[in-house]
Amino acid sequence: MRDYNDLVKVAERAAARAGAFIRAARRPRAADWTEKGRHDFVTEVDRACEALIAEALTRDVPGSRVVGEELTPELAASGEVVWIVDPLDGTTNYLHAYPQYAVSIGCAVSGELCAGVVHDVVRDLVYRAATGSGAWLGDQRLAVSTLAEPKRALVGTGFPFKEEGLLDAYLRQFAAVMTASSGIRRAGAAALDLADVAAGRFDAFWELSLAPWDVAAGVVLVREAGGRVTRLDGSEDVLGHGAIVAGSPPMHRWLIDLLRNA
């Protein structure tokens, strides 16, 4: 399967199946939540969703591998086609019925990200992108913001809620961005945050602690919409754990310089 758009179609079908499952499932009671780590919850809905997605992806692309937060958290070091899956990005939002959570499916071929689908479960919207084919929401082609003045920028972020040792550095960064921009938003689902960058709603975005399944699909969306996504040091290799900075090229440059100086 050499056409990246074919991989997008496979991911769309799997994400749609998972999204329908989440919408139909009974939201777990607080007594049924499992805390994987501090402030980090998982439920049977997450696990069942990932199993559904993995079955669909490997059936449609035999020999492909699935890396997912709940079942297979170690990133595959090799493999021609590797799916990088977050079955329910924004689990805490979901548990509290806060309407911001998504299914995120990225795909890497020979180690390079090439396809991504983010399925907004509540709104039943599907963002998709493939290398060389642009980023899309339905029949609308997405493009990053054209804003050129940082003081007018709306910036998305995520809190380092799993790693409190990063909090002091993050608060310095938060203060710098708040002072220099028109506003900061934190909704709690990185896949949708990156979709908002791709759609030009956010001018830029940063978070200090993200995993590959949090960002794989969204990275493809932003890059195909004309934006940049890197580490804080400017590295383009984002298939690991760490910080992410995204935005239109000028807003990305502005934000990364601001964060480094903070």
Cα dihedral across residues 119, 232, 155, 92: positive or negative: positive
Looking at the chain, the whole-number percentage of residues with pLDDT higher than 70 is 90
| Shared-domain flag, residues 105 and 197 | no
| Shared-domain flag, residues 168 and 124 | no
What's the order of all strands across the beta sheet hosting 183-185?
183-185, 154-157, 204-210, 242-247, 228-230
Asked whether residue 222 carries a pLDDT value surpassing 90, the answer given is yes
| Shared-domain flag, residues 135 and 158 | no
Structural domain span for residue 26? 4-141
Asked whether residue 117 carries a pLDDT value surpassing 90, the answer given is yes
| Shared-domain flag, residues 158 and 94 | no
Asked whether residue 77 carries a pLDDT value surpassing 80, the answer given is no
pLDDT band (50, 70, 90) for residue 36: low
| Shared-domain flag, residues 52 and 134 | yes
Query: Which tens digit of pLDDT belongs to each residue from 133-178?
Result: 999 999 999 999 999 999 999 999 999 987 888 999 999 999 999 9
Residue 39 confidence (pLDDT):
47
Query: How far apart, in Å, do the first and last CA atoms of the chain sit?
Result: 45
The number of distinct structural domains making up the chain is: 2
| Shared-domain flag, residues 40 and 162 | no
List Cβ neighbours of 228 (8 Å cut-off, separation of 6 or more).
222, 246, 247, 248, 249, 252
| Shared-domain flag, residues 134 and 239 | no
The CATH number assigned to the domain holding 19 equals 3.30.540.10
**Whole-prediction pTM:** 0.93
Asked whether residue 73 carries a pLDDT value surpassing 50, the answer given is no
| Shared-domain flag, residues 16 and 131 | yes
